[in-house]
């Protein structure tokens, strides 16, 4: 257990890096190929571009927050939360909970988005407090 406890100070990087990777992966095409993505998503060009910028910007803020100012972590968490609420309302809620390709929803449910919201809100509420070891734990 002592070996695991020694690593607790860097454990915040696991969800931090995952969130950043997810939002860069999904944001980059929205910026690089805005017209194509706009047509595919049936959303206005400007909205897709702003969404992509918000996703990439949030990812960069989340990464910066790992060793920089706390406000970047909190803002990134809020940005991701808003984006995922929008994704649930606009797309995923109509398919229910299950996002594993089981049943007839094609794997388009909202469980993945809800998990992203939960982790994002953890960062928004706790900020960089997650970066620190707590006592002798």
Q: What is the pLDDT of residues 31-53, one digit of tens each?
A: 999 999 999 989 999 999 999 99
pTM for this prediction: 0.88
Which residue reads 């970047």 in tokens? 72
Task: Report in angstroms the alpha-carbon separations of 87 from 14, 65, 99, 114, 133.
Answer: 23, 24, 13, 10, 34
Which of the four pLDDT bands, split at 50, 70 and 90, describes residue 133? low
The answer to whether residue 111 scores a pLDDT higher than 60 is yes
Q: How far apart are CA 92 and CA 110, in angstroms?
A: 5
The pLDDT value recorded for residue 7 is: 81
Whether the Cβ atoms of residue 113 and residue 84 lie closer than 8 Å to each other: yes
For 134, the 3-state DSSP assignment is: coil
> In the numeric block, which tokens belong to residue 116?
């992203």
**Beta carbons within 8 Å of 12's beta carbon, 6+ residues apart:** 66, 128, 130, 131
Round the average pLDDT of the chain to a whole number and report it. Answer: 90
The answer to whether residue 102 scores a pLDDT higher than 80 is no
Instruction: Please indicate whether residue 3 or residue 13 has the higher confidence score (pLDDT).
Output: 13
Instruction: Please indicate whether residue 59 or residue 94 has the higher confidence score (pLDDT).
Output: 59
Please state, for a pLDDT cut of 70, what percent of the chain lies above it: 92
The pLDDT value recorded for residue 137 is: 43
The pLDDT tens digits for 57-86 are 999 999 999 999 999 999 999 999 999 999
The pLDDT value recorded for residue 136 is: 47
């Amino acid at each position: 257990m002592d070996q695991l406890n020694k690593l607790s100070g860097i454990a915040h990087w696991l969800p931090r890096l995952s969130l950043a990777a997810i939002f860069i992966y999904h944001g980059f095409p929205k910026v690089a190929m805005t017209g194509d993505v706009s047509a595919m998503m049936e959303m206005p060009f400007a909205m897709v571009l702003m969404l992509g910028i918000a996703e990439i910007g949030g990812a960069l803020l989340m990464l910066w927050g790992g060793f920089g100012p706390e406000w970047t972590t909190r803002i990134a968490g809020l940005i991701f939360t808003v984006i995922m609420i929008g994704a649930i309302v606009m797309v995923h809620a109509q398919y229910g909970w299950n996002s594993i390709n089981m049943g007839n929803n094609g794997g388009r449910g909202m469980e993945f988005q809800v998990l992203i919201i939960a982790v994002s809100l953890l960062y928004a509420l706790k900020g960089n407090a997650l970066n620190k070891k707590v006592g002798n734990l």
